[in-house]
Amino acid sequence: MITTSCKTEQAVDKSNPFFSKYETPFEVPPFDKIKAAHYMPAFESGMETGRKEVEAIVASKKKPTFENTIVALDKGGQLLTNVSAVFFAQSNANTNDSLQTLEVEISPKLAAFNDEIRLNPALFAKIKSVYENQSEFGLNDEQKYLLENLYKGFVRNGANLNEQDQDSLKKLNQKLAVLTVKYEQNVLEETNNYKLTLEKKDLAGLPEALVGQAAAAAKAAGLEGAYVFTTQRPSIFPFITYSPDRDLRRQIFTAYTMRGNNGNDYDNNKILSEIISLRAARAKLLGYKTHADIILEPRMAKNPENVMSLLNNLWEKAIPVAKKEVTMIQDIIRKEGGKFSLEPSDWWYYAEKLRKQKYDLDDNELRPYFRLENVREGAFECATKLYGITFNELKDIPLPHPDAQAFEVKESDGTHVGVLYMDFFTRESKRQGAWCGGYRNHQVLDGKRITPVVTTVFNFAPPSGDTPSLLSLDEVATVFHEFGHALEGLFARNTYNQVYVAQDFVELPSQIMEHWMSEPDVLKSYAKHYETGEVIPDALIQKIINSTYFNQGFSNVEVYAASLLDMAFHSIEAPAVVDVQSFEKDFFTKLGLIPEIVSRYRSTYFTHIMGGYDAGYYSYTWSAVLDNDAYEAFKEKGIFDRSTAESFRRNILEKDGTMDAMQMYVNFRGREPQIEPLLRNKGLL
């Protein structure tokens, strides 16, 4: 989004926190003072000032230069940037009816405003002049990268279209803005509306902590004495892992996989069909074959063929592994006297039995060692050992939600790096999943360094009674994953507000952090029994190591299936007329997805492809090639080798978005990435 600052409007309403300088510690947003009524005036004021500042750039009689055009465009926008950062963070993590209504209202207005800027012919003419005459301005590498991506971004967004086609593009963009918001809101409604209400007799086999959470959920729903399970991940997946009741497992799993596909007011089939059609039409209008082609052009992958080559290669290696796992699980069912074939809703239950059988490893045996607070401190300690930074909790500071925590991050010499928020627990006002965002990005403004404010958001089960929040091994990985994103945001050293991060590179900083979480020495630093304080035993660590390749066929297949489905939808040429359910069914049949496994995301609740991962869900896999190869560099010299860590920070974390992604990687690794470490670590060799 191109934004510009608001100065004259700041005096309009002094009661609106967005119209004044934040008088808070580290100038974080004053969350306690911001109300729903403050957003729209701030949005409108920010957009109006943006128009005026663009007009000033266009009206200048001076020859276009990098400073008077590119920097002038980049320097503005504080009001619109601020309100957008807070509003969209809250609409994702702490929404309500007012915010949802406002999101539907403001999204097409913002789309129209962005088009107004990007399709301004006089502004584009000045940018094009700077681009074509850049040799005159003595630009450094970061400035060249910014200019190239800004210019090409304008082109990809229709700057070269004629007026009639630009009008058509604007209409497409506004429709898409509304539809994608509605799609995500529908998934949230479907998730919140389902409750599996049980009695005590139905709880056989369930962990005590899960039962406590279900009792608390029932109480919150006014169902005292009952037990409520939901399609929130911390509820459904432990339930289908431990409940021996096959009918109940099937019931809740069906509710999970049918979200957005129930023919009710929150059905996403027609919405997704229209989104696919509009995206394809938009690509054709812009001169591209498909939506995937336009999305991939500025990324490492460059084109759909390269993505499909990687995914198909890995799919062919993963499917045989998954089929072997089916055979092993079906054997357990047979030995227990079962007269049925394995179904998707059975997988977690019998896979856990298989893990106990093969590795003598029980998730319930691990959870007591993974108290949330200890895991958080383990991630912090990793970063301290790698980079020398420290984390100090901030108590007297505005929080985006009462459950959130805030930390000041400092260099080893005490220099302020930034502020990190962490919001851990699931709630109905928060969309599913985990993510990292920012309330303020790093930049250098008029010679002054602006430090970042980063937020990480999770969906873990909250404490229940006397039992703290205890994480699964997968949830521990999620903490380290999002923390890796946060480190990139905190370490950023970009000069300009505009950065251009290759989406398929962005998961490298997050995914590489997951490698540390299961290293024996790291585990011993944070995995301590919540009741006794006992450090996780060596025998249990060895079981974790022994089970490294466990369930990898399933894990890989469900991710690759979702990635390939995303690419299939976005590789359709216009006019794209799609019956979503038929398309999905036919695609997975042709792909050879085995009936025992469901894609990690089905079409009607695939929120990633609404939130920036359209034709981009493959990015996790593309980045996996990078992170597995990059971690080899640490293993070669020691996983906490400071010189390797400093190189990773200097060449990757500080530079991302300011130079070519492959060049960044080569600067760190000394060569391009190799796929063998990924295949080896995934058990696919």
Question: What's the pLDDT tens digit per position in 394-414?
Answer: 999 999 999 999 999 999 999
- Tell me which residue of 450, 356, 387 sits closest to 74, measured CA to CA: 450
Long-range contacts made by residues 532-538, C-beta under 8 angstroms, separation at least 24?
536/369
For 568-584, b where at least 16 C-beta lie within 10 A, e where not — what string? Answer: bbbbbebebebebeebb
Q: What is the pLDDT, as a whole number, of residue 14? A: 82
When pLDDT is cut at 50, 70 and 90, the band that residue 7 belongs to is: very low
Taking 50 as the threshold, does the pLDDT of residue 3 lie above it?
Answer: no
Q: What is the pLDDT, as a whole number, of residue 13? A: 82
How does pLDDT run across 581-636, given as a tens digit for each residue? Answer: 999 999 999 999 999 999 999 999 999 999 999 999 999 999 999 999 999 999 99
Distance CA 98, CA 104 (A): 10
One domain for residues 198 and 150 = no
Q: Kindly list the catalytic residues.
A: 482
- Tell me which residue of 550, 572, 549, 552 sits closest to 560, measured CA to CA: 552
Q: Are 606 and 569 in contact (CB under 8 A)?
A: no
Taking 90 as the threshold, does the pLDDT of residue 250 lie above it?
Answer: yes
Compute the average pLDDT of residues 251-267.
98
Q: What is the pLDDT, as a whole number, of residue 352? A: 96
How does pLDDT run across 39-74, given as a tens digit for each residue? Answer: 999 999 999 999 999 999 999 999 999 999 999 999
- What type of residue is 95? T
One domain for residues 377 and 519 = yes
Taking 50 as the threshold, does the pLDDT of residue 681 lie above it?
Answer: yes
Percent of the residues in the chain that have a pLDDT greater than 70, as a whole number: 98
Q: Is 598 exposed, middle or buried (0-12, 13-18, 19+ CB in 10 A)?
A: buried
Residue 305 maps to a domain: no
Residue 473 maps to a domain: yes
Domain count of the fold of the chain: 3
Q: What is the pLDDT, as a whole number, of residue 2? A: 35
One domain for residues 26 and 138 = yes
Tokens encoding 113:
């405003």
End-to-end CA distance of the chain: 43
Compute the average pLDDT of residues 524-533.
98
One domain for residues 137 and 198 = no
One domain for residues 13 and 139 = yes
Taking 60 as the threshold, does the pLDDT of residue 4 lie above it?
Answer: no
Residue 132 maps to a domain: yes
Distance CA 423, CA 455 (A): 8
One domain for residues 149 and 198 = no
One domain for residues 75 and 124 = yes
Compute the average pLDDT of residues 473-501.
97
What CATH number is attached to the domain comprising 381? 1.10.1370.40
User: Which residues form the domain of 441?
Assistant: 367-546
Residue 593 maps to a domain: no
Distances in whole angstroms, Cα of residue 423 to Cα of each of 89, 376, 402, 606, 673: 11, 12, 9, 23, 34
Residue 557 maps to a domain: no
Distance CA 570, CA 175 (A): 17
Taking 60 as the threshold, does the pLDDT of residue 89 lie above it?
Answer: yes
Q: What is the pLDDT, as a whole number, of residue 1? A: 31
Distance CA 402, CA 383 (A): 26
Report pTM.
0.95
Distance CA 578, CA 569 (A): 9
Residue 361 maps to a domain: no
Tokens encoding 296:
């991939």
Tokens encoding 651:
């060449």
Residue position matching structure tokens 């997975």: 588
One domain for residues 79 and 127 = yes
Q: Which of 228, 257, 286 is the last residue of a domain?
A: 257
Distance CA 286, CA 165 (A): 9
Query: For all residues of the chain together, what is the average pLDDT?
Result: 96
Distances in whole angstroms, Cα of residue 481 to Cα of each of 414, 516, 546: 26, 10, 22
One domain for residues 156 and 198 = no
Q: Are 490 and 454 in contact (CB under 8 A)?
A: yes
Q: 448-450 and 443-445 as β-strands: parallel, antiparallel, unpaired?
A: antiparallel
One domain for residues 236 and 374 = no
How does pLDDT run across 110-155, given as a tens digit for each residue? Answer: 999 999 999 999 999 999 999 999 999 999 999 999 999 999 999 9
| DSSP 3-state of 151 | helix
| DSSP 3-state of 120 | coil
Residue 570 maps to a domain: no
Compute the average pLDDT of residues 385-402.
98
Taking 70 as the threshold, does the pLDDT of residue 77 lie above it?
Answer: yes
Q: Which of 495, 523, 546 is the last residue of a domain?
A: 546
- Tell me which residue of 75, 74, 69 sits closest to 128, measured CA to CA: 69
Q: What is the pLDDT, as a whole number, of residue 5? A: 33
Q: Are 508 and 652 in contact (CB under 8 A)?
A: yes
Q: Which of 546, 577, 605 is the last residue of a domain?
A: 546
One domain for residues 237 and 150 = no
- Tell me which residue of 545, 534, 461 sits closest to 207, measured CA to CA: 461
Residue 64 maps to a domain: yes
One domain for residues 251 and 145 = no
